Amino acid sequence: MSTTRLRFAPAPTGSLHLGSARTALFNWLVAQGSGGQLILRIEDTNAELTRPELIDNIYRSLEWLQIGFDGEPVRQSERTDLYNDAVEGWISDGLAYVDDGAVRFRVPSEGTTSWNDTVRGTVIFENQHIEDFVVRRADGTATFFTANAVDDFDLGITHVVRGEDLVNVTPKVIMLRQALGAQDMPEFAHLPLIVNEQRKKLSKRRDDVALESYRERGVLAAAMVNYLALLGWGPPDDIEVRPIEEIAALFQLADVNPSPAMFDVKKLESINGDYIRAMTQEEFSEALTPWLKNEIWGSSVDHDRLSQVAPLVQERTRVLSEGPPQLDFFFLETPEIDQSAWEKVMTTAEAPLILESAKMAFATLEWDVDVLHESLRAIGESHDMKLGKAQAPIRVAVTGRLVGPPLFESMHALGRETVLERIAAAHTKLGAT
RNA sequence: GCCCCCAUCGUCUAGCGGCCUAGGACACCGGCCUUUCACGCCGGCAGCACGGGUUCGAAUCCCGUUGGGGGUGCCA
């Protein structure tokens, strides 16, 4: 029995593109599910694509996604002899000819070239519509077609899984493979494109296509991979959010939907929120660390303190970068007061009374979450206000904002002294205006 | 222009001739829970592009129309 062998073959053109990441993932899923091998092949036949930092980018992104490969990466820039031999062979067999310094493959003017695509069914091209394409440039380097056909053959690739934008090169690659003397063809599967709201292929110019930028915003690798798997494929049991190993066990190339899929950031973030909530509290506060540097107070954070308060915002965080901003009042000397929040709740007749009462009550009561809760509830009641209303001035005074983590837990963590200071400051500020 | 492909709720999908009065998820809208926001729970809105066939029976098969996309480089 022959083992399944796949390859992910990106061209190094900067940060890994979402579409490429999805292609890498689907290749990986097939390899996992079939117990086969997955090879990473860098398509850098073009000299400017051989820059090391571009290639490092790919490695870094794939490593982050935890998409692993078998063996060392194959660099096409290091296999030029192989391609030259192939081209020379085609010339001497009369299958290719020199044209203006370049070498072109002679495409028959009759007949058809077709294959049975695993996701799209039979695809047929009439040879008369295919031009004599270039297999070696005038500068002596091999083109994509040549390198692709030679490598897939030489590396024993059994499944070619790639984007739909490559459908039209497939007949050319098939011809070259036959010209190489191959008796068999790999299984081809062309994945649907990932498109934007305008239903156009994601493009670098218009869309946020860099995998890296989602990572920087605090999308977890596991969530990204989970979401990507859902683009063009759906689990048979309707359970969408699940470990990638489970997806690999369920995934079938033939089940992939051939129509284009829109990249929906909202859904990605929803899934990311699921993954964040599934973390332990320790994992979550640890995961927040890289995003601290965006905050002015972030450089001097006490990590014990952070792990104490981070759980308060865990279920309120969809992407990690949203975490630290919700925690600022714990680490700032004085909270940054949101102007519109202040105007909304501090300009009522009750606000000063609530602050006044709380200032007195909080000075002596037992510093306990439940006691604080009950105390504020009673204060509100004495002014004929529901707790939801009564807590607002205190919340603004203590946290600076109208919304945030649970108030009593926050005050408890902050400590009596700080809370009293902030309430007093707000009270004074009110009196002054 | 030419070649190739695609077509189920706004979006991602399930469906592979009867189980469909079309299921799930995200989004959206209500409600409950509730110390704000969130989480959670309950409910709602909303779709087989259109027209012909085939069949006892079609979202599912065939043809056409329309609409959309991809490609058309000595890029990959």
Nearest nt to the A259 alpha carbon by C1': B6
Which residues are registered as beta bridge partners of A40? A8
CA-to-CA distance for A247 and A269, rounded, in angstroms? Answer: 19
For strand B, give the nucleotides within 7 A of a protein CB: 2-8, 10-16, 23-27, 35-40, 68-76
CA-to-CA distance for A264 and A207, rounded, in angstroms? Answer: 12
Per residue of chain A (433 residues), what is the pLDDT tens digit? 469 999 999 999 888 999 999 999 999 999 999 999 999 999 998 877 778 888 999 999 999 999 999 999 999 999 999 999 999 999 999 999 999 999 999 999 999 999 999 999 999 999 999 999 999 999 999 999 999 999 999 999 999 999 999 999 999 999 999 999 999 999 999 999 999 999 999 988 888 999 999 999 999 999 999 999 999 999 999 999 999 999 999 999 999 999 999 999 999 999 999 999 999 999 999 999 999 999 999 988 999 999 999 999 999 999 999 999 999 999 999 999 999 999 999 999 999 999 999 999 999 999 999 999 999 999 999 999 999 999 999 999 999 999 999 999 999 999 999 999 999 999 999 876 5
- Helix or strand (DSSP H, E) at A162: strand A159-163
Q: Which two tokens stand for residue A292?
A: 């601290």
* CA–C1' gap, A214 and B6, in angstroms: 28
With a CB cutoff of 8 Å and minimum separation 6, the contacts of A152 are A7, A160, A173, A177, A186
* CA–C1' gap, A263 and B25, in angstroms: 14
ipTM of this complex prediction, to 2 decimal places = 0.96
- Helix or strand (DSSP H, E) at A323: none
Any strand B atom closer than 7 Å to A249 CB = no
Any strand B atom closer than 7 Å to A11 CB = yes
Any strand B atom closer than 7 Å to A105 CB = no
* CA–C1' gap, A67 and B10, in angstroms: 33
* CA–C1' gap, A335 and B43, in angstroms: 40
Nearest nt to the A146 alpha carbon by C1': B76
* CA–C1' gap, A29 and B57, in angstroms: 39
